Structures are given as C-alpha cells and as structure tokens.
Structure 1
Amino acid sequence: MPVLLYIYIATEILAPFFASFLIINAILFLGRLVPLLNVIFDFGVGTGDFLRLCAYMLPKLMMFSIPMASMTAVIVAMTRMVNDNEIMALKATGIGLLRLLPPVIVIALSTSLLTYFSAVTLIPQGTLAMKSLFLQMAQEKIDKGIQPGQFSEGISNVVLYIDAVDHETRQWQGVYVSDMRHGDAPLTIVAKTGRLTAQPENMLISLTLTDGTLHRASKDITQTIRFDRYQVNLPIKTPTEIGGTSVTEVGKNGLNQKQLLEQVATHGPKSPLGLSMLIEYHTRMALPVGGFILTILGLPLAMLARPGRRPLGVPLGLLLFVIYYILFTAGRTIAESGHLPVAAGIWLSNILIALFTIMLTRQVAREITPLFLARLSDTALALLARLPGIKNGEKRP
C-alpha cells in the first residue's frame, strides 16, 4: 500500500511541476528578452543562433524556476487531494502527514540535485558557450561588413580596406589598416593577406596579417617594421552586455567550483575579488538546499486547505518564497559588506526557513494551525469575500 500511494503522490506532483516550470521560465525569460533584442537586431541573429542563446541563458533561470516550480507543484497536488477528500480518507486509515513525506522528499531531493547540477555545471558551460557564440556572431558581422574596394569604419577607431576577398576561404587580399587607438602614435599597416579569427579563451577577435609592413609615427620619430605575421586585436562594438551580463569577460559565472576556490586562494578571501568568488561558491550550494527546504514546506502549507474553502496554499507558498529570497539577498548583502562571515550570511536564510518548516510540519501533523497563519487565512478569505461574485471563498451561483 505505501509504495503504490507514494507512486500515486509522486505522479500527482510531477504534472503541475512541469507545467509550473514552463510557465515560470517563460515569465523569467521575458524579463531578459528586451536586452536580448539589441543583440538580435545589431547582429542579425538567425533562428538557430537565437535558440542557442536561449538555451545558454536557461541554466541561470533554472536556479530560480526549479525551486519555485517544485514548491508550487507540491502545494497544487496536495491541495487537490485535500479538496477531493483523498487526504481525509488517508487520515481515516491512519496515514497522517508524516507518512506522506517520503514521496515529497524524493521530489525535493531530485529537484534540488537538478538545481545544483545547473548551478555548478550548466551555468559555467552556458556562460562560456554564450560568450563564444557572441564572438562568432561579432566576427561574422565584421567579416560580412568589409566590402572589397571600400573603407570600413564600423570598428571603433580602426579603419579597414581590402582589395579582394577569397569567398571560399574568406581570406582578405591586399589589406590596409589604420589603427588610431594609440592616441598620438597611430599605426598604419599594409599586408598582403589577412584573416579574422576568434579567440574564445581570451574573448578576443583578432585580425591576423601576413607579409606586410607596419608604420608608426610618434612626434618626430617614424618607424617602419616589416613582418611575416602580425596580429591585431579588434575592439568589439556594442552591445557588449546581455541583460546586464558582460559577454566579453568570463567573470565568476564562467568558473566552476574548483576554479572559484582557486581564485579565492589567489586573491585572498578578504579582497573584493576573492570575497565575490567565495560568495558565488556558497550561493551555488545554498540555493539548491533552499529549494529542497521550500519543497518540503509546500506539504504542510497544502494541508492547511479545507474542503469547500478557497485554498490559500499557493499564495502563502509564493509569499514565503519571496520572504526566503529577501532573507537570502539580505544575508548576501551583509556578507558582501563584511559584517558577517560569508558562510553565515549566505546560509542564514536556509537555517531560518528550515526551522520554520520543521515547526509548521510538526504543528500541522498534530492538526494544529499556527495562530498567525490562521489569522492570515481569515484575513485573506475576508478580502476574497468582498470580490464581486465570490462569497465565503466560493463562487455565487
């Protein structure tokens, strides 16, 4: 009996989980779509590259969407069972709240592990892949924007001119470069051939020139240097950010857990950079654990529902979810200011929400509704009763 019951509860939770996951990700993605439009229009991003950009952005969204969807799914599934009197029937057979915990714990553990995998593996890989894709698009834009026989001024402080382009190899023939980024010492380069190359590891786009001369003038001194091979790093024109995230610098989002600790050891945990890396290291572990706790919290919140009354588990769950992230943000801010150790500041919200979850679970298991939740429920029901067409939590016929 318990095994079949656990399978039944798990399947009841999975359906609203996937639905909530899709809806929440869609909402979160819309918030990042506006800055992404600049990239789409400026670089002429095709459908394939657009979908790849969306896929690379998804792991960052999953840090928030998975815990929220997991908690919502538990509340929705268990509230439905309460309203259909299934929970009452289970209580009549001696199955209380604590015996309903195992399938919820399995769901919570699975979603928290998925969140952790997204945080420590998918986010660094997605960050690097997105930046590499950006460099590829920037390279293609520059490459396609250079027309034979015309001076190109699309690159900041750099003027390019080419005689011809080999359409098969995309190699430039007869290259002229005027580099005015050095202020009073401009460079003039003339080369037989040239080719654009991207360096994802250094986040650079380079112009590799062969068989040419470099001319430099500084006040009364003029230099002429002949070279067989010369490389010029080109400045990338805007946009250099997507949704406030730099696409030309790897940053902490592109580092795995081991690399974050290496940066902390190199710069010191008290330095601004080392402190930032240490906070990111703990954040990637604390958020999945927080998602696990919030998912467990969804069970006692759903059990507060009563047949025939409007369920308040979902709004209460969303409220507690927001409170959790407010506490997490506050703890992170205090840790950044140095008033609390990093571990204490980042994990404080998890400790507080875990204590609240244990307290609420024990009281609901004893059929005791906490006083503050009872008052909050009565207030919410009173407000709902004032809405047109609603009375006592039910729709008027």
Structure 2
Amino acid sequence: MIVFRYLSREVLLTLSAVSAVLLVIIMSGRFIKYLAQAAAGQLDPGSLFLIMGYRLPGFLQLILPLGLFLGILLAYGRLYLESEMTVLSATGMSQQKLFRITLFPATLVALVVAWLSLGLAPQGANQFQLLLNKQDALTEFDTLEPGRFQALRDGTRVTYTESLSDDRVNLGNVFISQKNLGADQKDRGISVLVAESGRQEIRPDGNRYLILGNGYRYDGSPGQADYRAIHYETYGVLLPKPDVSEEVTDRDAMPTSSLLGSDDIRSRTELQWRLSLPLLVFIVTLMAVPLARVNPRQGRFLKLLPAILLYMAYLTILIAARGALEKGKIPPALGLWWVHGIFLLIGLGLLYWEPLRLKMASRRAAALEVARG
C-alpha cells in the first residue's frame, strides 16, 4: 500500500505540473489569436476571458491524456535513474504489477476526461458558439474604438472616429472609406466621407443609420483624375444589418444525448470521438509504463523523444480516421476502434516484450550451461 501511494503520488504530481505547463502554452496562443481579433474589431474585448473559459474544457480533454503520458515517462524515468525501480523489482515489482498500480491514476484521469468530453466540453462549445453569434449581431460601431481605423469583416469599408461618447451614439471627426461594388461585384471606385460629427439613429423599421453633419463626400477611382466632391450639411449612411443566428450547428457543441441513436454519419463520428478520448487514456498508460524503463547509464530522456513520436502518431492517425469516417471513407461499423486496436497491440507488445526477452535469454543461458556440462 505504501508503494502504491508513493507511485500514484509521483505520477499525479508530475501529471499536474506537465498539464499546467501545456495548458498555459496552448491558452496563451489562443488568447493572442482572440486578442488580435478583438483589436481588429471582430470581437468584443470584454468577452475575451469569457471565451477562454468556454474553451478551457475542450483544451483540457486533449491535454490531460498527454500530461498523463509524459507524467508516467518522467516520474518512472526518474525512479529508474535513481535505482528505486531496481529495488522495487528486487522485491517482486514486475512491469505488469507496475501497470496495474498505474491504472489507479489513469482511471482518475479517464473519468475526468470522460466528464469533459461527454458533458462539459460540448456545453462550453455551445456557449462559445452562442457568444460568437451575439458578436455577429454587433455593428461596426458597437466595437468601434476612437482613434483607430477599423475595417469591416468583408473589407469593403474602413471607419475612423476621433472621439466617441460613452453611450456610443455620438461621434466626432468621422472618416469613412467604402468600396463601391456593382451588381457584377466589380470595383466601381471608392467613396470617402469626412464629417465634423456623427450620430447613430435607429428607425422604427429597425434599420440603423449613421447621420453625418457638416462634411464632404468624395467619389472616384484611385489613380484617376475624375473625383467628385460634394459638400453636405446632413448625410445619412445605412449601416449593414447584422446576420444574427441563434442556431448551434457545430457537432462538437451538440449534447451527447442528442448524438445517441443518430443515423447521421457526422453525429456518429462525433460520438465515437468523444468516447475515444477516455479510451485513449488507458492505451497511452499501457504504452508509457514499458517506455519509461531506462538504463541509469543512458539517462531518463533517452526514450522520451521516441515515446512522444509514438503518442503523436496515435493522435494523428486518430484525427485522420475521424476525418475519413465523416467523409464516408471508413465503414461506420469499423469507426475509430481499429486505431485503438492497433495501438493496444503495440502497448501489449511493449509491456510483455522485455519479460519475454529476459525469459528467453535465461533459457538460452541454461541450455548453454547444460551443453557445457
């Protein structure tokens, strides 16, 4: 029991440290991406941390299996390097027994991953898509920041204002540059609007207008001397009506209960993917225990790179099989299970190869002794 607690604690502590580092790295990259979108006016800056919170379960369901795999390699590798595993082996600790002990922390991780992949991650993805739908409902003036040029998402208009009131209604020193596209979507030149002031106005029919005051409009094509200048006291600009959707269509945002019993190939693929992640935990544990065995003279990192490449091959093939299954290139009955079967056989081979090799070497040595006698 003491050995069981000691080994489990070592694995769980290393797992926590590795997973925390991986989570910080991945979330930092995602946060930079969303921050760039917020700077471009595509996202509300106030919702960035809410978005990261919704995305967190989806990150964790992929990080925890890798964290467990690396945690076993690093924790047991240190024990082999410091000859603690040699002492345990002398007291009857075989690779198979070590694997059975490791199944306890692996089961804990698998339960957490199952909770994330089957429940929490789809809920987070659902809320994330609803939040993006709300962002799509915002006009360019809802995300406009004074003193910064801001382009619309289709790139046809650039807007600038020097000042903006707290209620985001009144603007000062406005500049708007807009491409003029014909019915055939060909470029018909540009229109530039400048005004001393502007305000948003919502009409009874729901349309939004930007009412500009005391300014000029310039129409023409760049590089040509055919510009037309018009002075105006009041000018109204129709703001594009946002395309609002309350429907969640992503498969990863659908509740697991709605995927059960579905005949749709994409829904069945998504269900198999969610079930694959907890299963992945047990198979990578089976592979990690024998791969953690190192010679103290060789160092603890000798097998780390091949082990990581084996894990990446497992995950890459699994993702590729998911895409092929969605396209109908793999029979639904075969699904993703054949990938798990291949790596299960690899794990069993790694686990039993070393004891089998030692047993065969022992038999050869005994045969040589008999021959010499």
Secondary structure at 1:234's aligned position in 2? coil
Cα displacement string for residues 314-339 of structure 1 (whole angstroms, at most 9, x for unaligned residues): 21220110111232134334433434
Equivalent residue, structure 2, for 1:24: 22
Alignment partners' CA distance in 1, 2:35 and 2:332: 36
Alignment partners' CA distance in 2, 1:351 and 1:101: 18
Q: Does the alignment pair 1:347 with 2:355? A: no
Equivalent residue, structure 2, for 1:4: 2
Q: Does the alignment pair 1:99 with 2:127? A: no
Equivalent residue, structure 2, for 1:378: none
- Paired AA for residue 252 in structure 2: N
Distance 1:334 1:131, change over 3 A: closer
Equivalent residue, structure 1, for 2:148: none
Equivalent residue, structure 2, for 1:318: 308
Alignment partners' CA distance in 2, 1:15 and 1:313: 21
Alignment partners' CA distance in 2, 1:333 and 1:132: 25
Equivalent residue, structure 2, for 1:36: 34
Alignment partners' CA distance in 1, 2:67 and 2:271: 24
Q: Does the alignment pair 1:260 with 2:259? A: yes
Equivalent residue, structure 1, for 2:297: 308
Secondary structure at 1:342's aligned position in 2? coil
Alignment partners' CA distance in 1, 2:359 and 2:140: 65
Aligned pair partner of 1:298 in 276, 288, 292: 288
Contact 2:118 2:256 in 1 (8 A): yes
Aligned pair partner of 1:363 in 353, 367, 371: 353
Equivalent residue, structure 1, for 2:243: 235
Cα displacement string for residues 25-73 of structure 1 (whole angstroms, at most 9, x for unaligned residues): 2333345345423432244867763222112112222232111110100
Contact 1:127 1:250 in 2 (8 A): no
Equivalent residue, structure 1, for 2:278: 288
Distance 1:155 1:35, change over 3 A: closer
Cα displacement string for residues 339-369 of structure 1 (whole angstroms, at most 9, x for unaligned residues): 4322423111111111111121112344649
Distance 1:107 1:142, change over 3 A: same
Name structure 2 gaps, 5 residues minimum.
Answer: 145-150, 157-165, 170-182, 184-200, 209-239, 361-373
Distance 1:368 1:330, change over 3 A: farther
Q: TM-score, normalised by structure 2?
A: 0.65
Distance 1:41 1:75, change over 3 A: same
Equivalent residue, structure 1, for 2:47: 49
Aligned pair partner of 2:75 in 77, 81, 92: 77
Secondary structure at 2:335's aligned position in 1? helix
Q: Does the alignment pair 1:278 with 2:268? A: yes
Alignment partners' CA distance in 1, 2:328 and 2:137: 42
- Paired AA for residue 257 in structure 2: K
- Paired AA for residue 131 in structure 1: Q
- Paired AA for residue 57 in structure 1: R
Cα displacement string for residues 366-385 of structure 1 (whole angstroms, at most 9, x for unaligned residues): 46499xxxxxxxxxxxxxxx
Distance 1:87 1:47, change over 3 A: farther
How far 1:14 sits from its partner (Å)?
Answer: 1.4
Contact 1:59 1:123 in 2 (8 A): yes
Alignment partners' CA distance in 2, 1:56 and 1:48: 14
Alignment partners' CA distance in 2, 1:299 and 1:28: 26
How far 1:138 sits from its partner (Å)?
Answer: 5.1
Alignment of 1:86-125 (within 5 A): 86-125=84-123
Cα displacement string for residues 92-123 of structure 1 (whole angstroms, at most 9, x for unaligned residues): 12222222223310111111221121111122
Equivalent residue, structure 2, for 1:268: none
How far 1:253 sits from its partner (Å)?
Answer: 1.4
Alignment partners' CA distance in 2, 1:195 and 1:124: 35
Q: TM-score, normalised by structure 1?
A: 0.62
How far 1:285 sits from its partner (Å)?
Answer: 0.4
Alignment partners' CA distance in 1, 2:64 and 2:356: 30
Equivalent residue, structure 1, for 2:317: 327
- Paired AA for residue 235 in structure 1: D
Secondary structure at 1:307's aligned position in 2? coil
- Paired AA for residue 243 in structure 2: P
Name structure 1 gaps, 5 residues minimum.
Answer: 147-152, 158-166, 172-182, 184-188, 197-231, 237-245, 266-273, 371-397
Alignment of 1:41-190 (within 5 A): 41-43=39-41, 49-137=47-135, 144=142
Alignment partners' CA distance in 1, 2:311 and 2:153: 46
Secondary structure at 2:348's aligned position in 1? helix
Contact 1:63 1:287 in 2 (8 A): yes
- Paired AA for residue 36 in structure 1: Y
Contact 2:81 2:299 in 1 (8 A): no
Contact 2:4 2:101 in 1 (8 A): yes
Equivalent residue, structure 2, for 1:214: none
Cα displacement string for residues 293-328 of structure 1 (whole angstroms, at most 9, x for unaligned residues): 10221111112x011212323212201101112321
